[in-house]
Amino acid sequence: MSWGYKNMNHIPVLLKEVLEYLDPKSGEDFIDGTYGFGGHSAELLERNKPDGRVLGIELDEDVVEILKKEPLDERLVLVQGSFADLEKIAEENNFNKVSGILLDVGMSSWQIEESGRGFSFRGDEPLDMRSDGERELTAEEIINRWTEKELTKIFDKYGGERFAQRIARAICQERKSERIKTTRQLTEIIRKAIPASQRHQKIHLATRVFQALRIVVNGELENLERVLPQVLRLLEKGGRLAVISFQSLEDKIVKNFFREEAKKDGLKILTEKPIVPGAEEVRDNPRSRSAKMRAATKL
């Protein structure tokens, strides 16, 4: 098994279902476009031995550095990069026609809890939110420089935040006197902007704003739209694709892509409705609760 999966206490989401739909067999090659700490890949390698390979692509340079401190499975090719460049990375590493591709487009627990880049509103960290340190745009830049209208738009569009305009106005007012640099500052501004009667909801009051910022900083939706056509070109006939998303905008992109390709007889959809975690998985891994998986086969 891959080192990262066991040593980082990483719990791969919908693991049983991923294996069922990707159906790995001995000698087959797979691509894990969002490697993380390798939970899904470890099980793919277990099933495609003795000579099947996995190309693991991981965007976060810090995660790759952690993983490379320990020996990895010799049949794993681990690359630091973005799945938006899937075809280029696959070609460079001699993965030309593959039996299956997995995209798990959620954040890893490590990034949220330990990266120190402001993905979580529970601590006090710099407002960075970049998964890739090479990107120039940070959450701090957006919060301190974008107009009230622009902030309102992204909080509404990418976060579904019903108090988007109130929060945007409060941010613009606050930054006149002091630059907003940390997650704690931003969370407090959000708390004050939301009506008192609405502050104790099921999800944390800062969740939607933080989600919107993360999506914009990392170009998450654009990258997903870029990778899906590449996946189709890389899969061999009969090859399988599984995509796990964690919010409705991502799931909609995947659903629409599958439907369009199915109309053109490019894909056969295997999941008419998205697969979601069962009660036991949600209990053991609460972060899995919003996961949705869609799968298809290339025709």
- Give CATH superfamily name and number for 116-218: Putative methyltransferase TM0872, insert domain (1.10.150.170)
Question: What is the mean pLDDT of the segment spanning 141-155?
Answer: 98
| Per-residue model confidence as pLDDT tens digits over 153-186 | 999 999 999 999 999 999 999 999 999 999 999 9
- Looking at residue 109, what is its pLDDT? 66
- Looking at residue 119, what is its pLDDT? 80
| Per-residue model confidence as pLDDT tens digits over 236-282 | 999 999 999 999 999 999 999 999 999 999 999 999 999 999 999 99
| Per-residue model confidence as pLDDT tens digits over 185-243 | 999 999 999 988 777 777 789 999 999 999 999 999 999 999 999 999 999 999 999 99
Confidence band, pLDDT 50/70/90 cuts, at residue 33 = very high
Residues carrying CATH 1.10.150.170, the chain = 116-218
Residues carrying CATH 3.40.50.150, the chain = 3-110+220-298
Of 4-8, 35-39, 175-179, 230-234, minimum mean pLDDT range: 4-8
Check whether 3 has a pLDDT greater than 50: no
- Looking at residue 121, what is its pLDDT? 81
Confidence band, pLDDT 50/70/90 cuts, at residue 2 = very low
For the chain, what is the mean pLDDT? 91
Two tokens, residue 117: 């880049």
- Looking at residue 287, what is its pLDDT? 83
Cβ pair 223, 84 in contact under 8 A: yes
Which architecture does CATH list for 3-110+220-298?
A: 3-Layer(aba) Sandwich (3.40)
Cβ pair 218, 60 in contact under 8 A: no
